[in-house]
Chain A
Amino acid sequence: MSKPKFKNPVVNWIDYRLPIFTFMNHELNEYPTPKNLNYFWNFGSLAGITLVIMIVTGIVLSMNYTAHIDYAFDSVERIMRDVNHGWLLRYIHMNGASFFFIVVYIHIFRGLYYGSYKAPREILWILGVLILLLMMATAFMGYVLPWGQMSFWGATVITNLFSAIPFIGESIVTWLWGGFSVDNPTLNRFFSLHFVLPFVIVGVVILHLVALHRFGSNNPIGIDVKGKQDTVPFHPYYTIKDLFGLSVFATIFAAAVFFFPNFMGHPDNYIPANPMVTPAHIVPEWYFLPFYAILRAIPDKLGGVLFMFGAIMVLFVLPWLDKSSVRSSQFRPLYKLFFWFLVIDCIALGYLGAMPAEGIYVVLSRLATAYYFFHFLIILPLLPKIESTRPLPVSISTPIITASSNASTVMAMREKK
């Protein structure tokens, strides 16, 4: 031990044997972060915090839940009515799922807009897509647990997707169900997997962070950090910025939990599951609607399933589809335009997924689906050939210094007045 790093001798004693404090100091305190990050960079830490909220509320909910088809619905109602603060914990968990997806979708679109998936951050991006897939599986199985009508029929429709696989599809579905329909064995295993998958997500999140800290955050102008002048230490600059963002997020989240707890849910899920009657209009949770629209747009069962999974798979190879060396859309006028087309397309798919599969909605779903794949598979690879990008700044500091010297002139003029 050359010289003590920390003032507290106990901390020093521990750190010498287990360098946890050095690690935390390195990764959370002095960690150099680009100094030009905007508020879109808050959503990574917000997603992490939401994951923790989901795990904590989920563990306490599981203490009051019964994973059996005869008791599941009633045990959830008991949580809502009789368990102390049960209503609060369940509403946090239920709305938390929606907010988790809101935060993560913004986080993903931020990555798309600023080219955060490009070299050397490809693995960081792939791990992120993997987290999205795990989140979807977890959310789907969690939605089954209250054993309402939407739980049951959502589970039936989604597990039946696998029956589209040629030859072995039927056996796979029977294996997933543990029977000949969605039934008690299905509910039991979904509960078990819904409990364990969040911890798998935590594992992948840790890998995501390791990959992030290898090269540090991307930034709004998308050029590499050139030296110390381009960064600030993570603490206190970004801890305080993240905390401010968190307080705004928590305000909106609390408003939903306390005033509109069922806004993002479906009323049919307050009807106990009935295997003999399918609700007239089955829709998945809102965060699956764009994918559901793609599933229904294809007039072939296997084709629909392939395109739906393909919509995510295409994200895995995105770093190799977009060949432009310029990251940020601030310097890519055409890409910026197509980025916003993609945003509109995804929102349109979400809307169409909620509409009945008939008439004009089918036609529009097909167009929107075609455009989604057209964006990733045709536009992105071709764009660098026709796009003239704007000149990149010399360094992260250059535009900031120019802007701040302008600002200080303004300040000086104000003071004179």
Chain B
Amino acid sequence: MTKKNIPEDKNKRDFLQVSTYALGAVGAASFVWPLINQMNPAADTLALASTEVDLEQLEEGQAITVTWRGKPVFIRHRTKEEIASAKDQLLDGLRDPQTDEERVQNEKYIVLVGVCTHLGCVPLGQKSGDVKGEYGGWFCPCHGSHYDHSGRIRKGPAPTNLEIPQYSFLSDTLIKIG
């Protein structure tokens, strides 16, 4: 009787042990998740979603910076030469190949998140006296990334082009970001 019972008992104990550990692990994980997830953006942070900007006063060659989700958004009214140079650029030499058409809705206005894709600094180039870098667009002073008229990365450590936020034209000169 004992000979027969020992392996059965062992199996039963193994099962109890494994199921206890498993349940304990699931319980611990389901308690840890709220502790981790509370650090993700809260509902009110997510609610600050959109900004409307009127571009009527923005003359050719001028740029403005607006705030969206706590980040700067660059809007530049490009000159004809700037548009031409952005369009004529061949995609071969680009680190993050994108045509200018893919990056604008209305070729006069380029809208970009003004945050360098390297480590998050705000590039220079919005004010008239700013250093605009070797490609005439924007230049990040932190670690030396150069962006062109389309906000594409051309030189320096940044891995990707300046991000394009989600936006739409409500009228010819009124845009909604977000």
Chain A residues with CB under 8 Å of chain B are 153, 156-157, 159-161, 163, 174-181, 183, 185, 189, 275-278, 280-282, 296, 299-301, 304, 356-358
A174 to B143, CA, bound (A): 22
- Closest CB in chain B relative to A298 CB, distance in Å: 9
User: Does A301 lie within 8 Å of B45, measured CB to CB?
Assistant: no
Contacts A276-B72, A278-B121, A301-B157 given; does A179 touch B142 at CB 8 Å: no
Beta-carbon contact of A277 and B69 below 8 Å: no
A181 touching B70 by the CB < 8 A rule? yes
- B71 pairs with A156, CB closer than 8 A: no
Which of B1-9, B34-42, B169-177 participates in binding chain A?
A: B34-42
Partner among B71, B119, B141, B144 whose Cβ is within 8 Å of the Cβ of A275: B71
Contacting residues, chain A, for B79 (C-beta < 8 A): none
B150 to chain A, nearest CB (A): 21
Q: Are B119 and A281 in contact (CB under 8 A)?
A: no
Residue B120 at the A interface, CB < 8 A? yes
Q: Say if the beta carbon of B118 comes within 8 Å of chain A.
A: yes
**26 interchain pairs (CB within 8 A)?**
A156-B120, A156-B121, A157-B120, A157-B121, A160-B118, A163-B120, A178-B40, A178-B45, A179-B45, A180-B45, A180-B69, A183-B70, A185-B42, A189-B39, A276-B72, A277-B122, A278-B122, A278-B123, A278-B142, A281-B141, A296-B143, A296-B157, A299-B157, A301-B119, A301-B157, A357-B144
B99 at the interface (CB under 8 A from A): no
Contacts A174-B40, A178-B42 hold; do A282 and B142 have CB atoms under 8 A apart? yes
Closest to B158 in A: A301
Contact B141 A280 (CB under 8 A): yes
Q: Does A157 contact B69, Cβ atoms closer than 8 Å?
A: no
Whether A160 lies near B119 (C-beta < 8 A) is: yes
Roughly how many angstroms separate A160 CA and B40 CA in the complex, as a whole number?
Answer: 16
Q: B159 an interface residue at 8 Å Cβ cutoff? A: yes
Q: Is the CB of A276 within 8 A of B119?
A: no
Tell me which of B40, B70, B122 contacts A175 (CB under 8 A).
B40
Contact B42 A282 (CB under 8 A): no
